[in-house]
């Protein structure tokens, strides 16, 4: 005898608040039924297969054909118990939806692999090629032991607590994480270990795997769909206990989490810049709370918002003030004003490089612009060749020879004649990493040079290959963009040179100083991990407080100079921010829409203490052939405000079909 049909209410990843009704026909003989929390596949509109989350189930008369006037369609697939979204993960999904003012359905895809149920091919998951590391734990220093004891006590007490672990570069934060995780595992708890980007931190992954072996699985972009499913299913079945990965690893279906590590917690990549725009560091706290877990936020340069929370007593602040087995390298500030350096290298830096190479040591050079020349400019009339889609100067690249837009990837052949005056005399001005590399070859013809930037890492795996090759000391000099500043440990490096330390300071973003301080401190920290090291900052602003504080590795000094500025201007961490970005092909239409939206925001939100700023043209007012405006909100939106905002944006989108609007809570940049 056949069972009753089921009426199933599903949320789908579409920008609508509503749920959708489907029919489920159980199999002939005691086939399983659908229950709330199940992940299912359904037809939706013209699409044959859309994944959704089951919210409610009730009995259905098999004769019923329509619900609310809509013809019922059948659920086509129910995924297994490994894919159910329940308990703490469902609470986290609901929190993200509410906090970031999104429909629940748009949050659900975070909680399952893109193609659930895909079978992995039998081949072993490819590990990242990297020199093997010791599996044994090291002996902890006194400061490390103090931190571990605090965290371990919390884990034993099943206490939800957050630690801001502020440890200078090379102070042994990873060893602390691993020791705390080890105890959690012994107590039968699981662990999540978040890293900004696994491609940039292969050493940390190797260490975790070496320590915990088969209990660990990593999620990263190098996995196939089937491998991702295998990790997901194994986590759900309790076969693995530690999941390592970028922000998406936070949603792994581990059952009983005792520790969540957010390493390099200041990194922007923890914020997703597409829907759903959530911050994994913030979401980690919610998952920690639901699991009564300890959350460890670690950094040498803590995010100002995290540090502010620690100062306010929301987090416990612990520090590792000393570098293991050595000192932080001294930083020399070289004043570049009035120094003629056609190749970009001051005499101080060149001498330091000579000495380093002569001693058989390695060098990292940091220059935060890729390409050969920033501008391709006519010598006769001064015309700068711009991207036709973005109104921004194109960057000259040598290999292959072309002009490239760094914002939309638009490429053109290098013009023979000036488009404005017809002259054939161009001046490539402002350097990039490609030019630095070429100058290096001329200056140090015997040195082996590697370059790490967006252009040399387009192919999958090239990141890791360059880093691994440099770690094996197959090159003398690594030159690159901010990719070289991330958490690598290169024992052979004894000199770091920053070619233009003031580079990021002028950016029109209130976080420009913070980002510069973080980058300079992090890149300086690559020098002298074993033995003596030195660092050279070349700058045109040698007295700038950010450069001075970074040169002293002094986070406290930076904090003291920056917090009063933020407070005076009402920026985070003192007030929250939300950005509304509008774009469209017709400037007047976007402008009018932005005016309307800002007016609605003012009327409704200003009485609640929210400051509405704008609309104003975005920092880049035209990108990819779209005109851009933005509105900024300052202040904390309460749940009613968020609900109102959701409805307001929905009505707005219905009224202005030719204008795209995005909303971003706690944006990491306001471009
Ligand atoms: Zn010209
Ligand atoms: Zn462009």
Task: Give the pairing type, strands 577-584 and 626-634.
Answer: antiparallel
| Radius of gyration (C-alpha) of the chain in whole angstroms | 27
pLDDT value of position 129: 47
User: Distance from the CA of 515 to the center of ligand 2, in angstroms?
Assistant: 24
Place 130 in a pLDDT band, splitting at 50, 70 and 90. Answer: very low
User: Distance from the CA of 439 to the center of ligand 1, in angstroms?
Assistant: 28
- Taking the C-alpha atoms of residue 187 and residue 160, their distance in angstroms, rounded to an integer, is 16
- Taking the C-alpha atoms of residue 135 and residue 213, their distance in angstroms, rounded to an integer, is 9
Q: Which ligand is nearest to the CA of 407?
A: 2
Q: Which ligand is nearest to the CA of 385?
A: 1
User: Distance from the CA of 342 to the center of ligand 1, in angstroms?
Assistant: 24
User: Distance from the CA of 624 to the center of ligand 2, in angstroms?
Assistant: 5
CATH architecture of the domain 5-85 equals 3-Layer(aba) Sandwich (3.40)
Residue 56: CB atoms within 10 A of its CB come to: 12
- Taking the C-alpha atoms of residue 337 and residue 77, their distance in angstroms, rounded to an integer, is 68
Domain map (residue ranges) of the chain: 5-85, 142-320, 331-370+432-566, 577-665
Q: Would the pLDDT of 44 be above 50?
A: yes
Q: Is the peptide bond before 230 cis (omega within 30 degrees of 0)?
A: no
Q: Which ligand is nearest to the CA of 424?
A: 1
User: Distance from the CA of 79 to the center of ligand 2, in angstroms?
Assistant: 43
CATH 3.40.50.300 fits 331-370+432-566, yes or no: yes
User: Distance from the CA of 583 to the center of ligand 2, in angstroms?
Assistant: 15
User: Distance from the CA of 100 to the center of ligand 2, in angstroms?
Assistant: 30
User: Distance from the CA of 451 to the center of ligand 2, in angstroms?
Assistant: 24
Is the CA virtual torsion 383, 385, 387, 388 positive or negative? positive
Of residues 663 and 486, more confidently modeled? 663
- Taking the C-alpha atoms of residue 584 and residue 653, their distance in angstroms, rounded to an integer, is 12
DSSP-assigned states of every residue in 269-337 = GGB-SSSS--BHHHHHHHHHHHHT-EEEEEESS--HHHHHHHHTTSSEEEEE-S-TTS-PPPEEEEE-T
- Taking the C-alpha atoms of residue 201 and residue 223, their distance in angstroms, rounded to an integer, is 16
User: Distance from the CA of 442 to the center of ligand 2, in angstroms?
Assistant: 32
User: Distance from the CA of 621 to the center of ligand 2, in angstroms?
Assistant: 12
- Tokens 């252009």 found at: 455
User: Distance from the CA of 625 to the center of ligand 2, in angstroms?
Assistant: 8
User: Distance from the CA of 373 to the center of ligand 1, in angstroms?
Assistant: 18
pLDDT value of position 450: 97
Identify whether the C-beta of residue 23 lies closer than 8 Å to the C-beta of residue 71.
no
| Mean pLDDT on 221-244 | 93
- Taking the C-alpha atoms of residue 55 and residue 183, their distance in angstroms, rounded to an integer, is 37
Joined together, the tokens standing for residue 421 give 């005056």
User: Distance from the CA of 411 to the center of ligand 2, in angstroms?
Assistant: 8
User: Distance from the CA of 405 to the center of ligand 1, in angstroms?
Assistant: 20
- Taking the C-alpha atoms of residue 83 and residue 275, their distance in angstroms, rounded to an integer, is 21
Q: Which ligand is nearest to the CA of 410?
A: 2
User: Distance from the CA of 661 to the center of ligand 2, in angstroms?
Assistant: 20
Strands ordered across the beta sheet of 5-11: 73-74, 20-24, 5-11, 47-60, 39-44, 77-78
Q: Would the pLDDT of 1 be above 70?
A: no
Joined together, the tokens standing for residue 455 give 């252009």
- Taking the C-alpha atoms of residue 612 and residue 599, their distance in angstroms, rounded to an integer, is 9
User: Among 48-62, 103-117, 397-411, 466-480, whose mean pLDDT is lowest?
Assistant: 397-411
Instruction: Please give the CATH number for the structural domain made up of 577-665.
Output: 3.30.70.260
Q: Which ligand is nearest to the CA of 383?
A: 1
Q: Which ligand is nearest to the CA of 386?
A: 2
DSSP-assigned states of every residue in 585-621 = S-HHHHHHHHHHHHHHHHHHHGGGT-EEEEEEEEEEE
User: What are 314-333's pLDDT values in tens digits?
Assistant: 999 999 999 987 889 999 99
- Supply φ then ψ for residue 133, to 5 degrees: -120, 165
User: What are 139-170's pLDDT values in tens digits?
Assistant: 899 999 999 999 999 999 999 999 999 999 88
User: Distance from the CA of 408 to the center of ligand 2, in angstroms?
Assistant: 4
User: Distance from the CA of 438 to the center of ligand 1, in angstroms?
Assistant: 27
User: Distance from the CA of 109 to the center of ligand 1, in angstroms?
Assistant: 51
User: Distance from the CA of 410 to the center of ligand 2, in angstroms?
Assistant: 5
Q: Which ligand is nearest to the CA of 421?
A: 1
Q: Which of 216-225, 505-514, 534-543 has the highest mean pLDDT?
A: 534-543
User: Distance from the CA of 343 to the center of ligand 1, in angstroms?
Assistant: 26
Task: Identify the three-state secondary structure at position 79.
Answer: coil
User: What are 178-193's pLDDT values in tens digits?
Assistant: 999 999 999 999 999 9
Q: Which neighbouring-strand residues pair with 245?
A: 194
Q: CA neighbours within 13 Å on the CB side: how many for 592?
A: 9
Residue 463: CB atoms within 10 A of its CB come to: 20
User: Distance from the CA of 626 to the center of ligand 2, in angstroms?
Assistant: 10
- The pocket of ion ligand 1, defined by CB under 5 A, consists of 378, 380-381, 383, 418, 420-421, 423
User: Distance from the CA of 402 to the center of ligand 1, in angstroms?
Assistant: 18
User: Distance from the CA of 406 to the center of ligand 2, in angstroms?
Assistant: 7
| Measured torsion, CA atoms of residues 549, 555, 560, 566, in degrees rounded to the nearest 10 | 100
Percent of the chain with pLDDT over 70: 96
- Supply φ then ψ for residue 440, to 5 degrees: -60, -40
DSSP state at residue 64: -
Shortest CA distance to 334 belongs to which of 350, 346, 352? 346
Fold equal for 5-85 and 577-665: no
Shortest CA distance to 241 belongs to which of 214, 275, 268, 210? 214
User: Distance from the CA of 385 to the center of ligand 1, in angstroms?
Assistant: 10
Q: Would the pLDDT of 2 be above 60?
A: no
User: Among 273-287, 398-412, 530-544, whose mean pLDDT is lowest?
Assistant: 398-412
Task: Identify the three-state secondary structure at position 490.
Answer: coil
CATH architecture of the domain 142-320 equals 3-Layer(aba) Sandwich (3.40)
DSSP-assigned states of every residue in 649-669 = HHHHHHH-TT-EEEEEES-S-
Q: Say how many residues make up the chain.
A: 671
């Amino acid at each position: 005898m056949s069972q009753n049909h089921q009426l199933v209410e599903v949320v789908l990843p579409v920008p609508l608040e509503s749920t959708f009704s489907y029919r489920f026909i159980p199999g002939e003989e005691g086939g399983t039924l659908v229950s709330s929390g199940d992940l299912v596949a359904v037809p939706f509109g013209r699409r044959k297969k859309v994944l959704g989350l089951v919210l409610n189930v009730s009995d259905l008369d098999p004769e019923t054909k329509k619900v609310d006037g809509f013809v019922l369609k059948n659920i086509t697939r129910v995924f297994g118990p490994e894919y159910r979204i329940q308990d703490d993960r469902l609470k986290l999904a609901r929190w993200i939806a509410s906090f970031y003012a999104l429909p629940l359905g748009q949050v659900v895809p975070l909680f399952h692999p893109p193609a659930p149920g895909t079978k992995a091919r039998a081949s072993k998951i490819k590990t990242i090629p990297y020199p093997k590391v010791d599996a044994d734990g090291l002996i902890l220093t006194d400061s490390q032991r103090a931190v571990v004891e605090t965290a371990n006590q919390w884990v034993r007490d099943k206490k939800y607590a957050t630690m801001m672990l502020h440890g200078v570069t090379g102070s042994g934060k990873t060893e602390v994480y691993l020791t705390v995780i080890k105890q959690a595992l012994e107590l039968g708890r699981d662990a999540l270990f978040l890293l900004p980007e696994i491609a940039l931190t292969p050493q940390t992954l190797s260490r975790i795997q070496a320590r915990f072996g088969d209990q660990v699985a990593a999620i990263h972009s190098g996995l196939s769909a089937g491998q991702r499913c295998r990790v997901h299913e194994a986590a759900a079945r309790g076969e693995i206990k530690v999941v390592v990965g970028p922000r998406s690893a936070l949603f792994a279906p581990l059952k009983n989490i005792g520790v969540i590590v957010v390493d390099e917690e200041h990194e922007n990549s923890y914020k997703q810049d597409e829907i759903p725009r959530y911050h994994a560091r913030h979401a980690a706290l919610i998952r920690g709370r639901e699991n009564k877990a300890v959350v460890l936020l670690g950094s040498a340069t803590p995010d100002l918002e995290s540090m502010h929370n620690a100062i306010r007593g929301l987090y416990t602040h612990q520090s590792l003030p000393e570098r293991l087995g050595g000192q932080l390298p001294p930083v020399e500030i070289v004043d570049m004003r009035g120094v003629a350096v056609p190749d970009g290298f001051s005499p101080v830096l060149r001498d330091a490089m000579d000495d380093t190479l002569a001693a058989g040591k390695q060098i990292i050079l940091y220059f935060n612009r890729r390409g050969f020349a920033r501008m391709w400019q006519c010598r006769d009339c001064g015309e700068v060749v711009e991207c036709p889609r973005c109104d921004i100067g194109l960057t000259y690249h040598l290999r292959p020879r072309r002009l490239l837009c760094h914002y939309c990837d638009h490429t053109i052949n290098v013009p023979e004649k000036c488009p404005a005056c017809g002259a054939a005399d161009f001046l490539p001005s402002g350097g990039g990493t490609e030019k630095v590399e070429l100058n290096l070859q001329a200056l140090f013809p015997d040195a082996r040079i590697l370059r790490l930037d967006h252009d040399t890492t387009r192919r999958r795996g090239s990141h890791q290959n360059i880093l691994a090759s440099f770690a094996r000391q197959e090159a003398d000099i690594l030159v690159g963009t901010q990719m070289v500043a991330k958490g690598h440990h290169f024992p052979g490096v004894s000199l770091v040179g920053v070619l233009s330390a003031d580079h990021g300071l002028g950016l029109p973003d209130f976080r420009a100083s913070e980002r510069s301080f973080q980058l300079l401190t992090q890149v300086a920290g690559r020098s002298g991990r074993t033995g003596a090291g030195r660092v050279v900052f070349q700058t045109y602003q040698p007295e700038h407080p950010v450069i001075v504080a970074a040169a002293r590795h002094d986070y406290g000094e930076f904090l003291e100079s920056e917090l009063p500025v933020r407070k005076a201007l009402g920026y985070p961490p003192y007030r929250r921010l939300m950005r509304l970005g509008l774009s469209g092909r017709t400037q007047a239409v976007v402008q009018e829409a932005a005016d309307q939206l800002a007016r609605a925001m003012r009327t409704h939100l200003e009485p609640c203490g929210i400051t509405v700023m704008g609309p104003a043209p975005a920092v880049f007012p035209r990108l990819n052939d779209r005109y851009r405006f933005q509105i900024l909100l300052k202040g904390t939106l309460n749940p009613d405000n968020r609900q109102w905002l959701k409805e307001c944006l929905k009505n707005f989108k219905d009224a202005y079909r030719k204008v795209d609007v995005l909303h971003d809570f706690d944006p990491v940049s306001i471009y």
